[in-house]
Copies of this chain bind each other. A is one copy, B any other.
Amino acid sequence: MTARPTAHGSPQDEHVVVCALGSAPLTDAPLDEEDALALARVLAALADPVRLRLVSIVAAHGEVCSCDLEIPLARSQPTISHHTRVLAEAGVLVGEKRGRWTWWQVVPERLTELRRILGG
């Protein structure tokens, strides 16, 4: 897997193509297919009630470990892991492994990009 070692080994440094979302606001000019696909992928990651609540919980706490998400979201551990993975691949979350725990943070710049493309 050609793991590139980092400070504490961020688990989604590899295999994650967080595309730049650099298109103009969609209210300004028609999106081409490539930009539309990239934007749709990020929106799809957020278009799930469990993932939205997950993001809001992480944002509210600043940093949250996976084990603290099972109870408030009422989902099994594999399902939580699935959702954090989807959000990380969309660039909305970043995770850092510390000891046995994985700590998740939101990426505010990603949400800023979204707000910009949504037509300001």
Contacts and interface: CB of A to CB of B under 8 A. Distances in A.
Q: Copies of this chain, how many?
A: 2
Contacts of A72: 30
Interface stretch (A10-18, A39-47, A76-84, A95-103): A39-47
A5 interface: no
Interface residues of A, number: 36
Contacts of A55: 26
Interface in A72-96: 72
Is the contact region of chain A dominated by helix, strand, or loop, or is it mixed? helix
Given A49-B36, A49-B40, A27 B59 contact: yes
Given A27-B111, A40-B47, A111-B119, 14 more contacts: A27-B59, A27-B108, A29-B60, A30-B72, A31-B56, A32-B53, A36-B50, A39-B52, A40-B48, A43-B43, A43-B52, A47-B47, A59-B119, A115-B120
13 contacts: A26-B55, A27-B108, A29-B56, A29-B60, A33-B49, A36-B52, A36-B53, A40-B47, A40-B48, A40-B52, A43-B52, A115-B118, A115-B119
